[in-house]
Amino acid sequence: MDRIGMMEAIKALSTKRTNAMYLNDFFHTWQKTDDELAATFLVADILRSMRENNISSKVFDSGLAISLFRDNSTRTRFSFASACNLLGLEVQDLDEGKSQVAHGETVRETANMVSFMADVIGIRDDMYIGKGYTYMKEYSQSVYQGHLDGVLEQRPTLVNLQCDIDHPTQSMSDALHVINHFGGIENLRGKKIAMTWAYSPSYGKPLSVPQGIIGLFSRFGMEVSLAHPKGYEVMPEVEEVARLNAERSGGVFTKTNNMEEAFENADIVYPKSWAPFAAMEKRTDLYGKNDFEGIKTLEKELLAQNANHKDWECTEKLMSKTKEGKALYMHCLPADITGVSCKAGEVSAGVFDTYRTPLYKEASYKPYIIAAMIFLSKFKNPADKLKLLLERSTNRIF
């Protein structure tokens, strides 16, 4: 996007109603309006174009971004750091093992103590059903109260970097990849995306990616097909979100227990392993009871259950069933690649190698999506601020 394109995008942004995003958090995509989602996509594209054109988007002279990862991460961790750096914030990772949390410090106390100069807090907490989003809400309410009480000079914005319910930075970056691939959000109407379970030799992968995809892509008038073996259901309340979204947008939301059926005539395929919702609920219960032997037993049961579905693999043969055999293959990464990272996995080496470059491009949108979420929460008139940055045109590299 050149300078003229950026100005047109800023003009389009000025027509979007984003007041509710100002000084607010980003938890689930289905909590945001169509205008707010569109604004996030626009800001992400503008910020990316500014960087490509060597224009600084540094809007903070100082300030902290706190990252709290309660689960392992590569892409999202570095995407969050990149996003904050793009806007001029310094990132400080909160390692709970090195904090007073281990000594019984409460969530409210921790949240306030790390937030004296924090403008944004990014949290990943996706391991246990019923826990992650609840923890994020408590964190958010704690800093909100801290600001009201005059403890904090500003209320830090909280960005959900993946919880037990949704992974909004992933689904939004996936969506922007698809939007640009098909030449505009209006071109997604009528397109079919197959969000399918796929075999993995590992246990306990979160449900938040498939739930994030069906909860967002059903907003665009698409045909969203959720496929998995019997027993691998996702949260029923998120299925209901997808059904209602499809109804409102003029799209379709379907479910099937047949991977080939989901791939049939699909424009986009997203084969990804996840753990059964019922099993994840059971794991949370065992965790609450500190029943670690029970967790080990459950893990063995789930690995054996997974092994019954090794035929749920994205292969060249399955890809031939898609629209003209050329569907866009997507994955949040890392994928379990058959014969490469594991003996048998989610995707064949041939399919993965064919789509390696598009997959890396898919991942490259995440820093800009996160930066857009932060930007929209910090500026009441985001279009005016971006216009000022563009007019100033300070070189990022001197």
Name which residue leads in pLDDT, 356 or 73.
356
- Residue 49: CB atoms within 10 Å: 19
pLDDT at 96: 77
Q: What is the mean pLDDT of residues 33-38?
A: 98
pLDDT band at 72; cut points 50, 70, 90: confident
Rounded-to-integer distance, Cα 140 and Cα 108, Å: 9
Rounded-to-integer distance, Cα 389 and Cα 119, Å: 20
pLDDT at 98: 58
Q: Which of 347, 363, 341, 326 is nearest to 198 (CA)?
A: 347
Domains of the chain: 3-166+366-392 (3.40.50.1370), 168-363 (3.40.50.1370)
pLDDT at 127: 84
175-233 pLDDT per residue, tens: 999 999 999 999 999 999 999 999 999 987 999 999 999 999 999 999 999 999 999 99
Rounded-to-integer distance, Cα 362 and Cα 358, Å: 6
Residue 245 exposure: Cα atoms within 13 Å on the Cβ side: 29
pLDDT at 99: 60
Q: What is the DSSP annotation of 77-128?
A: HHHHHHHHHHHTPEEEE--GGGSGGGGT--HHHHHHHT-TTEEEEEEEE-SS
pTM of this structure = 0.96
Tokens of 298: 């459950």
pLDDT at 95: 82
Q: Across all residues in the chain, what is the average pLDDT?
A: 95
Rounded-to-integer distance, Cα 1 and Cα 50, Å: 9
pLDDT band at 128; cut points 50, 70, 90: confident
pLDDT band at 102; cut points 50, 70, 90: low
Least confident interval from 124-128, 215-219, 237-241, 388-392: 124-128
Angle between helices 168-181 and 356-364 (to 10 degrees): 120
130-179 pLDDT per residue, tens: 999 999 999 999 999 999 999 999 999 999 999 999 999 999 999 999 99
Rounded-to-integer distance, Cα 232 and Cα 207, Å: 10
- Is residue 71 predicted with pLDDT exceeding 90? no
Q: What is the mean pLDDT of residues 369-398?
A: 96
Quick one: what percent of the chain has pLDDT higher than 90?
91
- Is residue 121 predicted with pLDDT exceeding 70? yes
Contact 388, 48 (CB under 8 A): no
pLDDT at 347: 98
